[in-house]
């Protein structure tokens, strides 16, 4: 489902389009709010483990605008981004690579998990996130 038009006047954050790096605008902020309100089952399950500093005191935010992108979860203190991938990411490999490279260029590390991985192995997923935030590899 698309919330925004892909016309010249309104770029689509889902398609990696935007008005410029580092420019936070109301379109992205509004879209992030929509994403927070319409989270998937996997996102809700992971958020239950990350919110309110539940993961070893690390503060995470969800659906945050970074440049022209919206990331699923982020710990700004440790510069760790956690992305939840559904089936669309198997098709959007090129766009995800461009996005990941830009975010890495901004000093972030990115962890990607498939939705079914979160639903079936939440403890393993949380352990990987904990290790990344703790500096363990």
> pLDDT tens, 40-90?
899 999 999 999 999 999 999 999 989 889 899 999 999 999 999 876 655
Helix, coil or strand: residue 15: helix
pLDDT, tens digit, 9 for 90 and up, residues 83-111: 998 766 556 788 889 999 999 999 999 99
Q: Using CA atoms, how far apart are residues 96 and 41, in angstroms rounded to an integer? A: 22
pLDDT band at 37 (very low <50, low <70, confident <90, very high): confident
Give the chain's domains with CATH numbers.
40-134 (3.40.960.10)
The pTM (predicted TM-score) of the whole model is 0.74
Cβ atoms of residues 130 and 55 within 8 Å: yes
The predicted pLDDT at position 136 comes to: 80
The helix/strand/coil state of 114 is: strand
Answer whether 107's CB lies under 8 Å from 114's CB: no
Predicted confidence (pLDDT) at residue 21 exceeds the cutoff of 80: no
State residue 90's pLDDT score: 59
4-30 as b/e: b if 16+ CB within 10 A: beeeeeebbbbebebeeeeeeeebbee
């Amino acid at each position: 489902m698309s919330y925004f038009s892909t016309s010249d006047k309104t770029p689509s954050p889902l398609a990696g389009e935007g008005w410029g790096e580092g420019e936070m605008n109301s379109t992205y902020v509004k879209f992030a709010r929509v994403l927070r309100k319409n989270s998937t089952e996997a996102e809700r399950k992971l958020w239950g483990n990350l919110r309110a500093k539940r993961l070893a005191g690390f503060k995470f935010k969800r659906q945050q605008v970074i440049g022209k992108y919206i990331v699923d979860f982020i710990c700004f203190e440790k510069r760790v981004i956690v992305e939840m991938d559904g089936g669309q990411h198997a098709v959007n490999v090129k766009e995800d690579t461009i996005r990941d490279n830009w975010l890495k260029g901004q000093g972030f590390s990115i962890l990607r998990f498939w939705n079914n991985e979160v639903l079936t192995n939440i403890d393993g997923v949380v352990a990987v996130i904990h290790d990344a935030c703790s500096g363990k590899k």
